[in-house]
């Protein structure tokens, strides 16, 4: 028995010595003026797995830089990698690669190959951190990637038309990604997910993008937490997706005829909490969505706080604040299979005799005028007219045309502290 234990201890010690020995062979290669290498591509050709390449300040125009072995690729004082509007700049084709500290600019532009500032091909455990990417077609592009981290990058483009620009962070058929703390501006979509699962999108800022600040399709089991989306061309779009968590995000100043804070199309099993929808044409637009819980959110200063199409089922709207919206909610049908309860509505004119902070009279948030405008948009020309005010007052006294079960039976008398 003692001999067996000794063999095991010897094996464990030998194993850790082997690991330590392997790491001791990793070396650091310096690139730049007056260094051992002046060419990044030459340094990559002699580097071994696990090495670190440090690129010093300067401008490097070396075409497509391919990283096909596990390396740490580090910029010192933000060296510039310039694609000269011809090339994809960094192509990562190996697992266990990190890229940080570069200014990456002027990638090629072609819809055939979708070149990016940094593109990851079928790799895992890749970290892309603290880079500045400007004037690229796609900023950071991941395909068939897993367990990758995209963190604290600044990604900015200046194209004027959607067909001239790719997305800031583009992820396709990938799993277990972390998209954290990036600032994205001026691209077609700020963050784009398609067939991406089990990922976290946290603390990103996407503003002034040409189409969507965030756009994802067929991307299940993801969480979107504490992101900020402002003044994007069409807001945020969520399509054909299930099992989504969206917490503490802000959707602000997304204005236009077909623009939304968030568009939910064919979404199911979603949880929304602590989000802020401020000064959008429409805060949330639900279309063909079901099994959604929205609680403790703020809808403030929107044209429509919430538009819920009649093809939506089993949506629960509770403990939210609706404040200063032109229309709090609207729908396009006469039957609703969703529920509202204990929301604060600043248009509520009921009373609270028992002082339990819940109104004694149910509130019907759907005005007749909102229904008319939903079916006949030109009717907005009559907004604030005496005739419309009289029409809405009459409908509240004797509801006849709005759905009877579109009601909050326990309206909150004062707003929640969110």
Q: What is the pLDDT of residue 409?
A: 93
Q: What is the pLDDT of residue 174?
A: 98
Instruction: Give the H/E segment covering residue 368.
Output: helix 368-375
Q: What does the alpha-carbon distance between residue 278 and residue 300 come to, in Å, rounded to a whole number? A: 5
Question: Is residue 125 domain-resident?
Answer: yes
Q: Residue 307 — very low, low, confident or very high, per pLDDT cuts 50/70/90? A: very high
Question: Is residue 296 domain-resident?
Answer: no
Rounded to a whole number of angstroms, the distance between the first and last alpha carbons of the chain is: 64
The segment with the largest mean pLDDT, out of 129-133, 256-260, 378-382, is: 129-133
Question: Is residue 305 domain-resident?
Answer: no
Question: Is residue 204 domain-resident?
Answer: yes
Which structural domain, as residue segments, surrounds residue 205? 26-223
Any idea of the CA torsion for 388, 389, 392, 394, to the nearest 10 degrees? Answer: -110
Question: Is residue 355 domain-resident?
Answer: no
Distances (CA, A) of 244 to 102, 119, 220, 268, 319: 33, 26, 7, 8, 20
Render pLDDT for 59-112 as a digit per residue (tens, 0 to 9): 999 999 999 999 999 999 999 999 999 999 999 999 999 999 999 999 999 878
Question: Is residue 79 domain-resident?
Answer: yes
Question: Is residue 306 domain-resident?
Answer: no
- 47-76 in b/e form (b: 16+ CB < 10 A) is beeebebbbbeeebebebbebebbbbbbbe
217: β partners: 194, 239
CATH of the domain at 171: 2.160.20.10
The pLDDT of residue 275 is above 60: yes
Q: What is the pLDDT of residue 94?
A: 98
Greatest Cα pair distance, the chain, in angstroms, is 97
Q: Residue 387 — very low, low, confident or very high, per pLDDT cuts 50/70/90? A: low
Structurally, how many domains does the chain consist of? 1
List the one residue out of 370, 311, 368, 366 whose CA is nearest residue 343: 366
Lowest mean pLDDT among 15-19, 266-270, 410-414: 15-19
Question: Is residue 287 domain-resident?
Answer: no
Instruction: Give the H/E segment covering residue 245.
Output: strand 235-247
Q: Residue 306 — very low, low, confident or very high, per pLDDT cuts 50/70/90? A: very high
């Amino acid at each position: 028995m003692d001999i067996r234990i000794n063999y095991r201890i010897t094996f464990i010690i030998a194993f850790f010595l082997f690991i330590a020995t392997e790491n001791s062979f990793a070396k650091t290669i310096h690139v730049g003026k007056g260094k051992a290498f002046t060419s990044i591509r030459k340094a990559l050709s002699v580097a071994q797995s696990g090495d670190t390449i440090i690129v010093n300040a300067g401008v490097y125009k070396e075409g497509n830089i391919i990283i096909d072995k596990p390396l740490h690729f580090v910029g010192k004082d933000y060296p510039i990698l310039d694609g000269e509007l011809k090339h994809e700049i960094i192509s990562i084709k190996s697992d266990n690669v990190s890229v940080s500290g570069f200014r990456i600019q002027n990638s090629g532009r072609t819809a055939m190959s979708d070149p990016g500032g940094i593109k990851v091909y079928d790799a895992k455990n890749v970290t892309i951190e603290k880079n500045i990417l400007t004037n690229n077609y796609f900023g950071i592009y991941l395909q068939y990637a897993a367990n990758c981290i995209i963190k604290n990058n600044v990604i900015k483009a200046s194209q004027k038309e959607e067909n001239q620009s790719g997305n800031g962070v583009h992820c396709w058929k990938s799993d277990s990604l972390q998209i954290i703390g990036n600032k994205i501006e001026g691209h077609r979509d700020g963050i784009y997910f398609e067939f991406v699962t089990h990922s976290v999108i946290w603390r990103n800022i996407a503003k002034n993008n040409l189409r969507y600040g965030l756009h994802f399709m067929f991307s299940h089991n993801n969480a979107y937490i504490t992101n900020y989306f402002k003044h994007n061309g069409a807001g945020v779009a969520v399509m054909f997706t299930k099992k989504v968590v969206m917490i503490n995000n802000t959707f602000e100043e997304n204005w236009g005829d077909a623009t939304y804070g968030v568009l939910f199309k064919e979404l199911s099993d979603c949880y929304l909490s602590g989000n802020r929808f401020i000064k959008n044409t429409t805060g949330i637009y639900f279309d063909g969505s079901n099994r959604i819980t929205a609680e403790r959110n703020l809808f403030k200063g929107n044209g429509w706080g919430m538009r819920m199409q009649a093809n939506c089922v089993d949506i629960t709207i509770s403990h939210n604040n609706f404040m200063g919206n032109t229309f709090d909610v609207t729908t396009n049908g006469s039957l609703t299979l969703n529920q509202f309860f204990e929301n604060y509505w600043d248009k509520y004119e009921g009373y609270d005799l028992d002082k339990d902070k819940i109104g004694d009279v149910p509130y019907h948030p759907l005005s007749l005028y909102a229904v008319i405008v939903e079916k006949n948009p030109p009717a907005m020309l009559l907004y604030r007219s005496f005739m419309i005010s009289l029409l809405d007052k009459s409908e509240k006294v004797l509801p006849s045309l709005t759905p009877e079960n579109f009601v909050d039976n326990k309206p909150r008398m004062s707003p929640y502290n969110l």
